[in-house]
Structure 1
Amino acid sequence: MTQRIVVIGGGVGCARFVKGVREHVARAGLDARIDVVVNTADDWWVSGLRIAPDHDSLLYALAGVNDTERGWGRAGETERVSAELAVWGTAPEWFTLGDLDLGTHIARTAWLREGLTVSEVYRRLGARWELGATLHPATDDEIDTHVLLEDGSSIHFQEWWVRHRAQLPATGFVQHGIELAQPSLGAAGAIELADVILLAPSNPIVSIGPILAVPGLRRALVDSPAPIVGVSGIIGGAVVRGMADACLAAVGIETSAAAVARHYGARGAGGLLDGWLVGEEDADAVSPLRDAGIETRTVPLWMRDADTSARLAADALQLAADVR
């Protein structure tokens, strides 16, 4: 019987992890299907185009066309169109889009204008390459994240993240319209049929948090008979990449593997986690988290290549099997 593996997350950390899951499945000869429930809350409109950073990071990485040096966008990019848009004043100079990347955004926007759902756009974009996984938006509704600032104002998450490098003091994050959003059929179906659910080492506040906040999705996860195992994106008290520490600080959570696990909570106490993987640098978190009802293990977390990524995926699946 085909094992259904569901990964929850978004962004570069999630992309690397899903590549590891795919690699492990191939190496082990497993009969498995990989579904990814992707954060859509950092999507936004630029120059009349719908941009979807978390989805595109996954799409390009799984397709093998991502820019591994910059960590975002397509490999071999040029940026002539972005420069021209900046001259015309229709796109901010601080948000650069490559020409190949713009092709994706134009196609996405054209299909959305025709009335297609985000789910169908995901399907069409993913059909171009052999991804080895199926990507599902958490919701087909727009739920863009805005950042609440200390001065009482708010700005779009992308402006805070890209332009200001998360340096403006923030007090919280809000997804406009999320209370009316509905889970996409693909996301809900994947969770319902899952044999294993893995929380990727994604930003817990702005990547995984909005997925959990889509009405019905958190409850679907909590009620699932599948074991839920999370992978820490924090090693030795520091974020692996990005500025997740600024997001954690904004909502009063310490930047540590243990604090993020407690934020998700133990399933037995109404939270999400059955198991949690931390780096070998965070061995002191194991005993307290186990006492809190989360089976925790130390493993090498750094995903430097196909071997280390596949090993991490194997460790996550093994922990899921053990806590089942």
Structure 2
Amino acid sequence: MSINVLLLAGGVGGAKAAQGLALTASEQDCHYNVRVIGNIADDEEFHGLWVSPDIDTLMYTLSGEINTQQGWGMKNDGNTVLSQLQALGEDTWMFLGDRDFATHIYRTQRRRQGIRPSQICRELCTAFGCPLPIILPSDDCIQTRLSTDQGELSFQQYFVRERCTPVVNAIEFHGAQQATPTPEALQAINDADIIIFAPSNPLVSIGAILATPGLRDAIAKSRAVRLAISPFIGGRTVKGPADRMLLAQGLDTSPLSIASLYDGLIDALVIDESDAGWLSAIEQRGLRALAAQTLMITDSDKRRLMDECLAFVEQMEVSP
């Protein structure tokens, strides 16, 4: 019998978790049917083209096209186009490689033709040979806006141009209140037997997905076993600004903060072995807890962690 697994994913951590699940699902005797809901709130227009950084990171990672050294962008890519744009006086702080430009050109052309973004995502995933379907939370435009000590910034301005240095005072998802969830996202949640929150930034990656009207409620009411993987190792992130952002919001970077942010949405929390001292406190909140090696460097690391998460969930289901 097939078990439906749904991953909520954003950023590099989400892409690594997706790859781990894809490696598991590739086995002939695998009984897991995996789908991924990605973050669209980092999307922004550059040089007249619509760029979807998190969705593309997922797509490139799953298809084996990711630049593994950067964690984003395409492997074996050049910067001829960007260099020429810079020579023409364009602002080029957002790096887009030559091969990467083709993805953005295709997406933008199809959007101008009135094609649903979800359909465009499916077309791109098929073209790249993605082993897992990537689902958009909404076909509407939702964009992260950060109120910082240097003014309002888009997420890409904060993350890429300013290198995460401004202090984030508040986070908003413009367009979220008016957005409609995709039927694919609602169906994936409804069908799920297991829902996994990837070790992504809970505020701006997973938070952006949950900001889409209807998705948080659907997950809260889901019959699935729901598990989150903490993005923190010893109170710090491996990559990205999640630790700094939580501290700026008055939260600490312990596993308990992750439990609080996902209150009512998860049944279990997986934390790193270095944070094992928090297991009892997590369980006192009514959650099941597991300490594991959560650092994902190699493909073997990614698969091992996701296999451990799946085995933990299945053990939960048979335990009294």
Fold-level match, TM-score > 0.5? Answer: yes
Q: Which amino acid aligns with 1:273?
A: I
Per-residue deviation, residues 149-184 of structure 1 (Å, max 9, x unmatched): 236x31211111111111112201111111011111
Q: Which amino acid aligns with 1:159?
A: Q
Give the 3-state SS of the residue equivalent to 1:187 in structure 2: helix
| 1:152-191 aligned within 5 A | 153-191=151-189
Q: Which amino acid aligns with 2:238?
A: V
Q: Distance in 2 between matches of 1:51 and 1:252?
A: 32
Moved more, 142-151 or 230-239: 142-151
Give the match for residue 232 of structure 2: 234
Moved more, 205-214 or 249-258: 249-258
Give the match for residue 128 of structure 2: 129
Q: What's the TM-score once normalised by structure 2's chain length?
A: 0.95
Q: Distance in 2 between matches of 1:32 and 1:282?
A: 29
Q: Distance in 1 between matches of 2:83 and 2:234?
A: 40
Work out whether residues 25 and 34 of structure 2, in 8 Å CA contact, stay in contact via their aligned partners in 1.
no
Give the 3-state SS of the residue equivalent to 1:34 in structure 2: strand
Per-residue deviation, residues 13-40 of structure 1 (Å, max 9, x unmatched): 1111111112123347213221101110
Q: What's the TM-score once normalised by structure 1's chain length?
A: 0.94
Q: Which amino acid aligns with 2:283?
A: R
Work out whether residues 139 and 214 of structure 1, in 8 Å CA contact, stay in contact via their aligned partners in 2.
yes
Per-residue deviation, residues 48-83 of structure 1 (Å, max 9, x unmatched): 111101000010010001100111100011101112
Per-residue deviation, residues 202-237 of structure 1 (Å, max 9, x unmatched): 111110001111110000001110000111111111
Give the match for residue 259 of structure 1: 257
Give the 3-state SS of the residue equivalent to 1:7 in structure 2: strand
Residue 304 (structure 1) aligned to one of 291, 297, 310? 297
1:247 paired to 2:238: no
Q: Which amino acid aligns with 2:87?
A: V
Q: Which amino acid aligns with 1:49?
A: L
Per-residue deviation, residues 109-160 of structure 1 (Å, max 9, x unmatched): 0000100111011100001133221001111111111110236x31211111
Q: Distance in 1 between matches of 2:60 and 2:309?
A: 24
Work out whether residues 197 and 227 of structure 1, in 8 Å CA contact, stay in contact via their aligned partners in 2.
yes
1:223 paired to 2:221: yes
Q: Distance in 1 between matches of 2:163 and 2:243?
A: 12
Q: Which amino acid aligns with 2:310?
A: L
Give the 3-state SS of the residue equivalent to 1:179 in structure 2: coil
Give the match for residue 44 of structure 2: 44
Q: Distance in 2 between matches of 1:30 and 1:93?
A: 44
| 1:83-94 aligned within 5 A | 83-90=83-90, 92-94=91-93
Work out whether residues 275 and 319 of structure 1, in 8 Å CA contact, stay in contact via their aligned partners in 2.
no
Give the match for residue 268 of structure 1: none
Per-residue deviation, residues 227-280 of structure 1 (Å, max 9, x unmatched): 001111111111011121222123222122332122212xxxxx1110111111
Q: Distance in 2 between matches of 1:95 and 1:134?
A: 27
Moved more, 249-258 or 70-79: 249-258
Moved more, 73-82 or 240-249: 240-249
Per-residue deviation, residues 274-305 of structure 1 (Å, max 9, x unmatched): 01111110011100010001111101111121
Give the match for residue 106 of structure 2: 107
Segments of 5+ residues of structure 2 without an aligned counterpart are none
Give the 3-state SS of the residue equivalent to 1:115 in structure 2: coil
Give the 3-state SS of the residue equivalent to 1:301 in structure 2: coil
Question: How many pairs align?
Answer: 317
Q: Distance in 2 between matches of 1:227 and 1:28?
A: 24
Give the match for residue 199 of structure 1: 197
Give the match for residue 56 of structure 2: 56
Give the match for residue 265 of structure 2: 272
1:293 paired to 2:286: yes
Segments of 5+ residues of structure 1 without an aligned counterpart are 266-270
Q: Distance in 2 between matches of 1:206 and 1:112?
A: 25
Q: Distance in 2 between matches of 1:27 and 1:310?
A: 12
